[in-house]
Amino acid sequence: MKKVLFENHHLYYLPNFIPIIEEMNRRGGYEIFSSIPAHMPQSEQSTFFNGCDALGIETIRSDDEQNRIQSIREKSFDVVIVGNVGQLNEIVTTSTLAVMVYHGIGLKQSYYNDIDPRIDLRAVESESRLAELKSHGHSNLTLTGFTKCDPLVLDENEIKLNTIGLNPNQKTVLYAPSFYPTSLDQFLPILGKLSYETNIIVKLHNFSWYQNRYLYQSKAVQKLADEFEHIYLAPPSEYNIIPYYKMADMLVSDISSTMFEYLYLDRPIIMATCFNLRLKHRILHKRFLKKMDLRRMENVDFVFQLDHPDDLPTLVYHGLEYPNDLSEERQAAQTEYLHRTDGKASHRLVDAIESKLEGRP
């Protein structure tokens, strides 16, 4: 039995790992553990541990972070899989196969900067990203596709609209904003009006629930959901956005990775470019731009761009009435940004892991 640890820097990393966990369970021969840092909020940890229990995997937990790290090291894992560098070097031994499945595939430069030479194998979701990483001198790469999206090719675990209080006879918009910069502040006055003719599911970023700076976001949307019957706010216990993708006829987002993930379904996407920057980023705009993958942003041609929040209803109604607009661009983008949309990214990754393990003593 090979011992495998999935190290989750935050709760929202877990959906990337679930298909890999399920693939390892299908094959057998793996003893699977998962863990999350002890300094995460207790409510976030609780949701994480409940999710792991539902997956039937063991967890390593402690009230003290150093004790947690020590417990991980004592188990001497054969494989450690992470979503960012985080505390990688503290939790691996010299014999551990360190694997990175990066937690996001959006528009931020961190994708290229969150690197450590200790990573033995990095899953890459597209050929364009593979070429970019190779141009930076990286050779520890395996082209897999994006593991998080594997479940989108299956008909399992679909949520029905009427079970969450929405009208199954109305079209459904999934609104999934980033935490920063976010379009949410601009859209709060508009979502209620939009909900008169459409269902709206709001799936907030993890930080909107668990980080003090962004808590106002979940509070504001909860107030809206209480006031408007066709607005549903996905609770923090529903940490995985994947089931909500399948319920939605359209996605509205801003700079979130969700735009690329939703490409799996070839359905309309609105990208909002109307968001507020913090004062320091307004004054030092170049500092903000350095955080963004500007070339990738400029090449996004598969979405309806929204510059003014008041135009949201018009653009939503257009996209819902003409869902095939930009379909050709979306299908081309599937190949560009997701390699394959066959639901087998996790299969390819576990193949690559096993190949690496075979070459070790």
- In DSSP notation, 183-206 reads SHHHHHHHHHHHTTTSEEEE---T
- How many CA atoms, within 13 angstroms, populate the side-chain half-sphere of residue 234? 26
User: Which position has the token pair 């170049």?
Assistant: 286
Judge whether residue 38 has pLDDT over 50: yes
pLDDT of residue 77: 98
Q: Number of helices and strands (H, E) in the chain?
A: 17, 13
pLDDT of residue 156: 62
Domains of the chain (ranges, CATH numbers): 2-151+343-358 (3.40.50.2000), 155-338 (3.40.50.12580)
The 3-class secondary structure across 23-36, one letter per residue, is: HHHHHCCEEEEEEC
Residues 312-324 have a mean pLDDT of 97
Judge whether residue 339 has pLDDT over 70: yes
d(CA 108, CA 93): 30
Ordered strands of the 199-202 beta sheet: 231-233, 199-202, 172-175, 250-253, 269-272, 304-306
Tens digits of per-residue pLDDT, 141-158?
Answer: 999 999 999 999 976 667
Those residues whose C-beta lies under 8 Å from the C-beta of residue 240, and which sit 6 or more positions away, are 14, 15, 18
Tens digits of per-residue pLDDT, 344-358?
Answer: 999 999 999 999 999
Q: Are 356 and 97 in contact (CB under 8 A)?
A: yes
pLDDT of residue 289: 57
Q: Which H helix or E strand runs over 173?
A: strand 172-175
Structure tokens, 257: 């990775």
pLDDT of residue 271: 95
Between 292 and 314, the higher pLDDT residue: 314
Tens digits of per-residue pLDDT, 83-92?
Answer: 999 999 999 9
Count of CB atoms situated within 10 Å of the CB of 329: 15
